[in-house]
Amino acid sequence: MLVSRERRRGTLLAVGITALMAATLMTPTIAMAADDGATDITENGGATRNTEDRTAAVREALVDGPAKNVILLIGDGMGDSEITVARNYAEGASGAFAGIDALPLTGSYTTYSLREDGTANYASESASTASAWSTGTKAINGQLSIDINGVAQATLLELAKANGMRTGDVSTAEIQDATPGAQISHISQRGCYGPDKTSANCASEALENGGLGSISEQLLNLRPDVTLGGGSASFTQTAKAGPWEGATLFEQAADRGYQVVDDAEGLAGVTAADQNAPLLGLFTPGNFPVRWQGPEATVGGGDAAPTACTENPERLDTGLSLGSLTQKAIELLDNDNGFFLQVEGASIDKQNHAANACAQIGETVDLDEATQVALAYAQQNQDTLVVVTADHAHTSQIVGSTPPGLSVNLQTVEGGSMIVSYGTAEAGGSQQHTGSQVRVAGYGPGAANLLGLTDQTDLFFTSAGALELNRDLKSLSADATISASAAEVAPGATVTVSVDGLDADWQASVASDAAAAKLAAASSPQRDVLSGRAEFTVTAPTEVGTHSVTVTGAQTGVVLTTDITVTETPTTPAPTDPADGGAGALPGGQGGAGAGGGLAITGAAVPYVLLAIAVAMIAVGGYTIHRRRMI
């Protein structure tokens, strides 16, 4: 797989991106400030955003795939109305966001979800919608990356990882929240962040009941290279089963080799992040505090004098702004094999629910900054597809006079008065999502697929197609190999069993047909698979004879078998100390990544927890057989 991505990179078309940038991407901002200096919107042509025919420029912006990298930026609840509210406030009606508004290729997509009977639900929410672009499969409201039958659907982040790319998941929300959560987990209730809620509300999916575990635990299993957001509270809970039963998720993360940081200084100190030492930055117990605050929307609020928004003193260090996190993530993810990064501005939605216009707007400005960061990278790395879109539309509307529901009158950057209406819930209630199609905009290889009318599920195929992802997970682990440090060993000797090429598995477990009774007392036979590789230390049985050792990929169910012959006169001595590293030892600290130190496994079956993971994730791979769409 690594080879094929290298090859692809080598054959990328040399696109005249400099001309493109001058002609298309930069046009909106240039147009705003160009010509005779000040733009007078009262003059003929004074309000236009373009100054010349753009057909040739757009033609140049149509870049064929493949893309090496994909950056998806999601404005949660950022419908066209929310974009316009924010632009009017922060840039003026004739202004333009330097990021969000600069993407040259634009369309709309539908965001409906599914009802339990399989019919369309015209009012979706963030879990079902994030699942749609994460997996290409429509979901039921509140569910994450499972289909209507509860079968896990492979996500873009999972597929990117399985295809040898680095992956990142960034949000201003709790990292377990719907949008970031859909890329990293498969669960029937979006609220099952940690072991406690999962045991209570998603019992059948809890680790102790053979499920995939909470969203946080699934995140730790999946091991994105970079995870940045809020939601540390869930990581103080303890696992209720599995290899880390009784340990907090923070302890588990450290044990599994994660670099865990919780502030800007800690983040700044991280200079690399990969499968050996992935970055987990959790900066708040819950969601990030918002950037701006302002007057409350009230009944009759539109009649008040217009008020400007102010900075929220609770805002995090600017080193933790969404733009800064995006910059850091890109720096860490940038590598020869490409990366997939999702960035969410979460509280456009949350503050829309709260009818808090200033907060909603500030979060949109935040997302715009993140978009500028992504575009700047894409300008320098022409093989990067950048997409900006929303999961669903929301309530806020610009109106001309005070409506009967909640409203607020804001004084915009240009001194104007803008009344924003929130009319889908009573004061104190949660304003509702709305079902309008939303804007989707892109730049880079494959972005042409965003034009016209698409569905949210198309974005999955557009992204996977641009990256030329092999979506058949099982096939990605099918060529894996297994080896033992010795083919013949003395009774009770220690043997290192290594697997390589399990690209679509993030855990694997070892078992043997011998001495099953010993397993019950042993530590977990599970290992994290890092870049397709894992290594197990096995204690040979005392009985002479040939015994088969199997390693099973937890996600694909691929089974690898090797034989170890126990003899009184072995021809190859087994290493006596696993820490020395056998023939299959991995570079880069794998020796310390396992749970409980060196295992003394002498065989037996995979424990029930791992079996459950395998079964569920085989189903993920299985969908490729039935897929309707070819990319």
Instruction: Name residue 144's amino acid.
Output: L
Among 53, 517, 520, 521, binds a second copy (CB under 8 A): 53
Q: Closest Cα to residue 406, out of 420, 385, 388?
A: 420
Q: Has 113 been annotated as catalytic?
A: no
* Smallest gap from residue 311 Cβ to a second copy (A): 23
The H or E element spanning position 252 is helix 249-255
- Verify binding: residue 334, a second copy, rule CB under 8 A: no
- Verify binding: residue 629, a second copy, rule CB under 8 A: yes
Residues in 365-424 that interact with a second copy by CB under 8 A: 393, 395, 397-401, 403-405, 412, 414-416, 418-419, 421, 423-424
Of 119 and 576, CB closest to a second copy: 119
Among 48, 204, 561, 571, binds a second copy (CB under 8 A): 48
- Verify binding: residue 474, a second copy, rule CB under 8 A: no
Of 41 and 203, CB closest to a second copy: 41
Window of 205-213, 458-466, 478-486, 545-553 that interacts with a second copy by CB under 8 A: 458-466
Contacts of 290 (CB under 8 A, 6+ apart): 312, 315, 347, 351, 356, 359, 362, 363
- Verify binding: residue 455, a second copy, rule CB under 8 A: yes
- Verify binding: residue 22, a second copy, rule CB under 8 A: no
Q: Closest Cα to residue 573, out of 451, 471, 489?
A: 489
Of 151 and 515, CB closest to a second copy: 151
Alpha carbon distance 584, 133 (integer Å): 38
- Verify binding: residue 39, a second copy, rule CB under 8 A: yes
Among 13, 19, 22, 56, binds a second copy (CB under 8 A): 56
Give the three-class secondary structure for 56. Answer: helix
From the number of C-beta atoms within 10 Å of its C-beta (0-12, 13-18, 19+), residue 244 rates as buried
- Verify binding: residue 47, a second copy, rule CB under 8 A: yes
Among 458, 488, 500, 505, binds a second copy (CB under 8 A): 458
Angle between helices 456-466 and 126-135 (to 10 degrees): 30
Window of 87-95, 158-166, 366-374, 593-601 that interacts with a second copy by CB under 8 A: 87-95
- Verify binding: residue 29, a second copy, rule CB under 8 A: no
- Verify binding: residue 15, a second copy, rule CB under 8 A: no
For the sheet containing 406-411, what is the strand order? 298-299, 406-411, 417-422, 397-399
Q: Which of 108, 113, 126, 477 is catalytic?
A: 126
Peptide bond between residue 306 and the one before it cis (omega within 30 degrees of 0): no
* Smallest gap from residue 553 Cβ to a second copy (A): 21
For the sheet containing 494-500, what is the strand order? 481-484, 494-500, 534-539
Note whether 234 and 220 are within 8 A (CB).
Answer: no
The H or E element spanning position 575 is none
* Smallest gap from residue 295 Cβ to a second copy (A): 17
Pairing status of strand 526-528 against strand 507-512: antiparallel
Of 42 and 569, CB closest to a second copy: 42
Residues in 498-557 that interact with a second copy by CB under 8 A: none
Task: Dig out the tokens for 440 from the structure.
Answer: 């989707």
Q: Which residue has the tokens 């080799």?
A: 257
- Verify binding: residue 26, a second copy, rule CB under 8 A: no
- Verify binding: residue 623, a second copy, rule CB under 8 A: yes
Note whether 259 and 267 are within 8 A (CB).
Answer: no
Q: Which residues are catalytic?
A: 126
